[in-house]
A and B are shown apart, each in its own frame.
Chain A
Amino acid sequence: MRRARKLPLKDAWAIWFLLGVVMLNYPFMDIFNKSILILGIPLPILYFFIGWPISIFVVYLFSIYLGRDSDQPPPEQDQQTISQRKPE
């Protein structure tokens, strides 16, 4: 059952990617595109410099997940060190 639960998460990159594209573009961006200062910093700037690290953190979590997953390589995608492969 473990593998069955893993699969959707493994493809989650596509969702995160699309979510990122949406959140960084019109019209979503327009929500934050206002002349307001929050904590003395313009809102659009604040939005980027908070949203950006969050997205990096999501990639980080994703990479940790991948690392755990790659301890048990799925049969069709071995984690072989490719630099050591010899051409056949």
Chain B
Amino acid sequence: MISLKIVALVSLFYFGILFGVAYYADRQRKRGRSMIDNPSVYSLSLAVYCTSWTFYGSVGRAATTGIDFLTIYLGPTLIAFTWWFLLRKMVRISKEQNVTSIADFISSRYGKSPMLGAIVTVFAVLGIMPYIALQLKAVARSFDLLVNPLSTSNTLHVLPKFDLYFDSALVAALILGLFGVLFGARHLDTSGRHEGLVAAIALESVVKIVAFVAAGIFVTYGLFDGFTDIFHDFLVRFPEREHLLRLGTEKNSYAHWLAMTVISMMAVMFLPRQFHIMVIENCREEHIRKAMWRFPAYMFVINLFVIPIALAGLLLGNGDTHNADFFVLTLPLQYGQPWLAMLVFIGGFSASAGMVMVSSVALSTMILNHLVIPVILRFQSKAQNLSILLTNLKRAGIIVVILLGYIYYRFLGESAALVNIGLISFVAATQFAPAVIGGLYWRQATQRGATIGLVLGFIVWFYTLLIPSFVQSGWIGPEIVNQGLFGLAILRPTELFGLSGFDIWTHALFWTIFFNLGSYLAISLLTSPQEAEQEQVRKFVDVYSPIPVITEKTRITRAPSVIEFVDLMAKFIGEKPAHSAISDYLGDRDIDEKGSLSENELPKLKRFTELTLAGSVGAAPARIIVDNYLSARGSHMEDVFDLFGSINISRTASREQLSVLYDAARFVASGNDLQSILDDILKIFTEQFKFDLCVIRILDQDRQTLTVRSQSGMTSEHFGESERDLTLDTFIGETFLTNTMSVVNDSDFISKPQTAEIIRREKILSFAHAPIDVEGQPIGVISAFSRTAKGIFTAEFLELFSSLAGQVGVAFRNAEQTADLIAAKEQQRELEIAKNIQLSLLPTKIPEVAGIRLGGICIPAKEVGGDYYDYLCHDNGRLDLVIADVSGHNVGAALIMSEARTMIRSRSGKFSKPDELLRELNQFLYEDLTKAELFITLFYLQYQPDTRVVEYASAGHSPTLLWQAAQSQCLRLDPEGLIVGVKKDFFYEKDSYRLASGDVLLLYTDGLIEAENDHNEFFGEERLAELLRENHHLQPQELINYIVDQVRLFTGHQNFKDDVSMIVLLAE
């Protein structure tokens, strides 16, 4: 005996650990890591199959009826062979269809039938109730035995200080309910997965196997000398019970053995909690492969000591089987191992808790989705946010399911052994097998077949198993079992239709499956699947086949926008999950400028919304929700008139489509001129698809309009041949500006009045425009118009249309590239010529003039510039300096400069004044400059060595800088004057200055002061003047080099963008 306080404390501590693990797993998941994403955890979580029935009940069964308990584990071991095919297929389907439960799975398979979902749910709850009762009974009894080993049946405990009596089963129910709520319904998860729950279950599986094996070792080797010793003692002491170790006995017939094997095979697959943990909570299909042997191995180990403990219990208890279910607990307790007993209790509690938590979560999900939500949708669909309500309902569902189990226990559970209660649930789960397995492989299976099969199966189950158990508990009188319903012996529940000689389980299994499978097969053969079912058949039976590109044969009229779909989802699953779902979905889809999807995407979005909702509320309710929503806003799905049959471009493109694309590619590659390529493509396209008109419009850069480049089909001067402005008011303009396709499948609904008018006049019924782009930049629009049919632009056709537009784009790019190549070659040659001319204009040597020193430089930019400078020495000793810059960077500019140079060289001697020379030059070049659209800036300076006077004039050139040595200051020499080539008759201003020793003149072109650094700052005149001030003492060429270096430092680049030229004159 262990004191109540210790048991309570240890249990609480264990709850704490379980909750800690679950909480940690949930937190890890939020961080994107998964604790349960490995095959070991998956295998351990499957061991939720081993409940307190395994833990306590197997021993009880072994001690009373013999080794038939083994079938409960041998069945699953055998069915594990099929898992890679059967279970994996179920997992694959469930993930793809966002299935939430076995009810959802069955309902989804048979056309998302809400009725079928509800039927499965009701049966599952009825079927599992006894099983939950069993767990509560086990926890309560083991608790009672632990604190009072002499207690015989359910007793009430008293809480000493409060004088409060409590029933340990109710306490267990409440604690397990709390666990269920905490782990299973903290939020409404769209993926339907509960990582925390699974982690806790896996831990519990470890605890229960450790506890059981520890007890087994203690009993087998502590109390006896191993297995042989126990068997020997048993056979000597109870030779009359040798049948416990045999098959084919009265209690353990071969038929019974086979029936139990079949029942357990089905139960391990189709019990709602097994389905939930194996299918819904599965992270990866790959885990199944390892679980196939790990899970059976777990069962093997946990069963290794069942028979020894059972026989030891009988030996040590003088053959008393009264408490046989709890030998594993009472033996350590009786033989001075209270802590081992405590461990066993915790193990047994783990076994119960795991089952109850997973079952209650699975069942409450089913109740919520298939019973509650349909009602809510009927009465409360206006509410804004249902997600919180739904979460609370799920929590309430968990508590209700467990309390139902408790009620069953209070009324019926006391009378039956653990194993018997559990088997009732196993046979119930077996009823789901025909509908599920048939649904996975048999196309002909219909909703009506499945529904009637299930209903009959459950009626027979109720009659052949539950009624006898009611009788056994004394709940109803024994007449029905003894005399049969209405006194008809043929209707006796345990010998239905006179089938006698079988135990109750074999009998029930036979009749339930007979009616269930029989009507499922017969009615499926007699009926044919409805349209909604056929769609689902493909998704279930052919789940491994490549997913065909969905051919959109429906469209939504008055379709809701994306936002409206999101709001709909948010209402049921909460805002955050809804937004993250939609952003995942929209990730790579085309969205137009209004934030909505193209018409062809909307039915897909509808399906996506349905699928997302299905993850929370199940497939059938999800379909109802979306359909109700659409019909409420007057939208409906209508069939698209499909001109091309069921063709799709990606995999099974029709011959017509492929040939059009092939021909188009051939035209593009032909190397013909662009116009004939375009004409050929349009012609074949129009002919192949019987369009009335197809047009290619290309952007006219100068006029910014889309002008017709090619046209095929009917002619109409107001329509096909007309130009289109770049405006969103027309579909063509919109297509171009947004670079997305525009499709109007029904010209009765056109949003743009301007287009509507033309379209109606031309009797166009549907049309589509696709942008033609070159490297993402739209350059035109290809259009197709039909006068014959509406709705012809299906998704797969638009794919072809878009490919064709792409081909046209390629043709354009090819043509453009060819032209560019030719132009580039020409330009390159021209630049070389221009550069040669320019270089030939520059002086080759610096003249020697008395009283001054000179320096000059011209650094051509990468591309040819138009700078020119020169020194002109005259016979009278005069020196003329000229620096000029011509706009334009081509041969024309170079030639003009050459012309100017010739004129200056030949005429400068005749002009004694610089302003006169500029006037003459301006008049001389005006015509040519105007014609060539060029102009020249120029600074002209004459130096008389005898007087040391400089006279100068400027034609809009950058001012010359003068360093006055005497005053130590910098001056700008900037006489007024127009740029050469602007006005024919113009008088230039002339200035003069007498040089003093040390004065420096700096003539330059704007390339110098407009040199730019990375911050877009110009070098500027200020900096130049500063350099001159600081370095006026340098020799001219040194000064020039220094300035060039400083400018390069400033820009950070070696090369200049424009030519840089300078002349420096230093007066000695």
Contacts and interface: CB of A to CB of B under 8 A. Distances in A.
A76 B96 contact: no
A41 interface: yes
A13 B67 contact: no
Contact of A40 (B95, B228, B293): B228
A45 interface: yes
Contacts of A14: 81-82
A8 interface: no
Interface centre among A30, A49, A52, A86 (most CB of B within 10 A): A52
A7 interface: no
B296 A44 contact: no
Interface string B63-84: 0000100100010011111101
A56 interface: yes
A21 to B, nearest CB: 6
B261 A44 contact: no
A80 B340 CA distance: 45
Interface string A44-88: 110011001101110110110011001000001101011101111
A21 B82 CA distance: 13
B687 interface: no
B247 A77 contact: no
B74 A26 contact: no
Given A13-B82, A25-B257, A86-B584, A44 B67 contact: yes
B284 A30 contact: no
Contacts of A70: 286, 289
Contacts of B248: 26, 29-30, 33
A69 B753 CA distance: 62
Given A59-B81, A85-B95, A40 B246 contact: no
Interface in B122-157: none
Contacts of A30: 247-248, 254
Contacts of A45: 67, 231, 245, 307
Contacts of B81: 13-14, 16-17, 20, 59, 62
Contacts of B293: 56-57, 59-60, 63
Contacts of B550: 88
B297 interface: yes
Nearest to A60: B293
Nearest to A77: B544
B300 A56 contact: yes
A25 B228 contact: no
B307 A86 contact: no
Interface residues of B, number: 58
B91 interface: yes
B256 to A, nearest CB: 10
Given A59-B293, A87-B608, A33 B77 contact: no
B986 to A, nearest CB: 75
Nearest to B77: A55
Contacts of A24: 74, 78, 261
A9 interface: no
Contacts of A85: 95-96
B300 A52 contact: yes
A31 to B, nearest CB: 11
A1 B612 CA distance: 44
Contact of A83 (B82, B242, B247, B284): B284
A24 B254 CA distance: 10
Contacts of A33: 246-248
Nearest to B545: A76
B290 interface: yes
B304 interface: yes
Contacts of A55: 77-78, 296
Given A30-B248, A35-B242, A56-B293, A40 B232 contact: yes
Interface centre among B91, B296, B544 (most CB of A within 10 A): B296
B258 interface: yes
Contacts of B584: 86
A4 interface: no
A35 B246 contact: yes
Contacts of A63: 84, 289-290, 292-293
B339 interface: no
Interface string B212-251: 0000000000000001110110010000001001111000
Contacts of B290: 63
B503 to A, nearest CB: 15
B601 to A, nearest CB: 12
A53 B546 CA distance: 38
Contacts of B84: 13, 62-63, 66
A25 B261 CA distance: 9
Contacts of A49: 304
Interface string B865-879: 000000000000000
Nearest to B607: A88
Given A29-B257, A56-B297, A79 B80 contact: no
B67 to A, nearest CB: 7
A76 B95 contact: no
A38 B373 CA distance: 61
Contact of A44 (B247, B284, B545, B547): B247
A81 B286 CA distance: 8
Contacts of A83: 37, 95, 282-284
B612 A40 contact: no
A48 B231 contact: no
Nearest to A25: B258
A35 B584 CA distance: 66
Contact of B82 (A17, A29, A66, A79): A17
Contacts of A67: 289
A80 to B, nearest CB: 8
Nearest to A27: B254
What are the 6 tightest A-B residue pairs by CB atom distance, in nearest-first order?
Answer: A40-B228, A26-B254, A60-B293, A17-B81, A82-B95, A59-B293
18 contacts: A25-B254, A25-B261, A29-B248, A29-B257, A35-B242, A37-B235, A42-B246, A44-B245, A44-B247, A53-B300, A56-B297, A57-B293, A63-B290, A63-B293, A82-B92, A82-B285, A83-B283, A87-B612
Interface of B: 37, 67, 70, 74, 77-82, 84-85, 91-92, 95-96, 98, 227-229, 231-232, 235, 242, 245-248, 254, 257-258, 261, 282-286, 289-290, 292-293, 296-297, 300, 304, 307, 544-547, 550, 584-585, 604, 607-608, 611-612
Interface of A: 13-14, 16-17, 20-21, 24-26, 29-30, 33, 35, 37, 39-42, 44-45, 48-49, 52-53, 55-57, 59-60, 62-63, 66-67, 70, 76-77, 79, 81-83, 85-88
